[in-house]
A and B are shown apart, each in its own frame.
Chain A
Amino acid sequence: QVHLEESGGGVVQPGGSLRLSCTASGFIFRRHGMHWVRQAPGKGLEWVAFIKYDGSIKYYADSVKGRFTVSRDDSENALYLQMNSLRTEDTAVYYCAKDYGVFGTGGAFLDYWGQGTLVIVSS
């Protein structure tokens, strides 16, 4: 049974940093790309970042490019999102999601999602 669990959310001041984690179980983590998707309070879903199964390709939304970095540790079955230079508009629930493709290069096929972790950027 696939399980994804995010952690690391909290309250941070504008300009600050935060590192989110996502631990995965129930599937062969190293064979799948992983996504971060966020949802601002009362708003829709916004894709944030993707990392290929082997970490060789990373894609970012324009809104976070240059500020956020996605990474993974296959030995720990873990996905990370390092968020720097945070802005108030980054306030959201951040979800990690598994990409369906085995050894894939990314897509919109997100077959499992975690429950999310809330990040609040406020002074």
Chain B
Amino acid sequence: QSVLTQPPSASGTPGQRVTISCSGSSSNIAKNNVYWYQQLPGTAPKLLIQKNDQRPSGVPDRISGSKSGTSASLAIGGLRSEDEADYYCAAWDDSLSGPVFGGGTKLTVL
């Protein structure tokens, strides 16, 4: 069982906006930055959102992140077929002295 909790699946139609949640605790999300990683089928994870809400170079502005208290969320607007992937949230955990990941959310574009 993962330290951070994500819904196992999410879906939407092209053009829609989808939100993926990530729930943590006082030892991780509440005190530390949240990161989101995208894993396309058969490939390595790629950094999608850094420090809660910042987009690395090359990530489109239809993708956004936010954090409040012990939770964070990833929003993908203008959904496209190439967004079909697994999405993971992550944060440093002060109690475990290491980064912790969510269980991952499989996004399906219908």
A residues engaging B (CB < 8 A)? 35, 37, 44-47, 50, 59-62, 95, 100, 106-116
Contacts and interface: CB of A to CB of B under 8 A. Distances in A.
Contacts of B44: 95, 113-116
Contacts of B101: 44-47
Contacts of B56: 111
What does DSSP make chain B's interface, helix, strand, loop or mixed? strand
A44 B45 contact: no
Closest 6 CB pairs of A and B: A108-B99, A44-B104, A108-B90, A113-B44, A45-B101, A44-B103
B contact residues, range: 20 to 34
B104 A45 contact: yes
A109 B102 CA distance: 14
Nearest to A60: B98
Contacts of A37: 45
A113 B35 contact: no
Contacts of B2: 44
A45 B92 contact: no
A111 B45 CA distance: 10
Contacts of B50: 100, 109, 111
B97 A111 contact: no
A106 B98 CA distance: 8
B11 interface: no
Nearest to A6: B44
A73 B52 CA distance: 32
Q: Tell me which of A35, A47, A106 has the highest count of chain B C-beta atoms within 10 A of its own C-beta.
A: A47
Contacts of B45: 37, 45, 95, 110, 113
Nearest to B86: A44
B97 A108 contact: no
